[in-house]
Amino acid sequence: MIEDKEQLQPETFSPFQMENSALVYVNGQKNVIMGDEEEPILKECRRRFILFPIRYPDIWDAYKKAQASFWTAEEIDLSKDRYDWDQKLNNDERHFLSYILAFFAGSDGIVNENLNERFATEVQVAEVRCFYGFQAMMENVHSETYSLLIDAYIKDPTERERLFDAINSVPSIKQKADWALKWISDTQSTFAERLVAFATVEGVFFSGAFASIFWLKKRGLLPGLTFSNELISRDEGMHTEFACLLFQHLIRRPHSDTIQEIVKEAVSIEQGFLTDSLPVSLIGMNSALMCQYIEFVADRLLVGLGSEKVYNSANPFDFMEMISLEGKTNFFEKRVSEYSLAMVDHSSAQNKSSKLFTVDDEF
């Protein structure tokens, strides 16, 4: 069932609206739920071609924040990583990290396909399109970085090709990819439901992998990988936060039960992946702890989407406290790698007049 800010009676709808709407029963009464075509941010409007004046300052600020965080794969120094990979990791650790990198190598391309094929064409708000356009570029940088990491670490051509093709050849990774891909081709679910699904892809499917690499940083290993992980996890955190922000702008939102069902399905898949990729216990890291961590981040996402927690699991990793979205320290606001383009103003365009330098100022 869908929650709406306003329930409208059938007779208030045109034939076109009735065709593109759903009938539901609320408190025993038949009601019509508007289709996605009537959602304000999805409703076709010629204003989508014009950026100013900014109508959604919070969305614009999110775009400017992302813009200020841009980086490129050339800035990642992998010169010391190969020695750590060959000499300081054992076979179980290399197996685990190979699976992590294999998932990442294809996942950003899937996110981009959704942005290009669905979200960026469906949303009719210029500020949102700005963010999605920049997100797509960031995902390209992430994809290039993970491909370079696999190239640097995996020297056997057959194994390297297997990892590059993992979304097809490794069952637990394929299951994650297939789950994300099904939402791209889904023509029955609402935009809001698909927004929740891809917030879950970036907020849940990516979180276990990020945690595993932060675990390496705690041990002082693979500095190139761990630095790129700081940057990429920051970026993906911004993307997840943006999905939650955009969700709050929707009138037609899924019922909390539907949101929880989507997230729980993804959690189950992610826990299966972690059990498969981490078959043995490593120092300070095992599949049980990772599965608990996934429940923790899933609850965090649910709260961000205005839903109730499902798992009430504690964060089992002390080294991950710094990227918790809860508490006084927010990793995506105060991060270890303060990499930001200094000349980009994050503030809303509506507030720029007070910050411009002019020769009329009194000093």
User: Which residues are the active-site residues?
Assistant: 146
Q: Can you tell me the distance from the alpha carbon of 167 to that of 105, in angstroms, rounded to the nearest whole number?
A: 9
Strands 29-33 and 22-26: antiparallel
How far apart CA 271 and CA 277 sit, in angstroms, is 10
DSSP 26: E
d(C-alpha 236, C-alpha 157), whole Å: 30
How far, in Å, CA of 324 to CA of 332, rounded? 9
What would you report as the CA-atom Rg of the chain, rounded to the nearest whole angstrom?
22
The per-residue DSSP string of 144-175 comes to: HHHHHHHHHH---HHHHHHHHTHHHHSHHHHH
Burial class (CB in 10 A: 0-12, 13-18, 19+), 79: exposed
Is 308:302 a contact under the CB 8 Å cutoff? yes
* Tokens encoding 212: 């595993």
DSSP state for residue 35 in the 8-state scheme = P
Roughly what angle, to the nearest 10 degrees, separates helices 223-249 and 207-218?
Answer: 150
Q: Please give the Cα distance from 122 to 214 (Å, whole number).
A: 36
* 51: amino acid identity, one letter: L
Residues β-bridged to residue 30: 25
Give residue 46's identity as a one-letter amino acid code. R
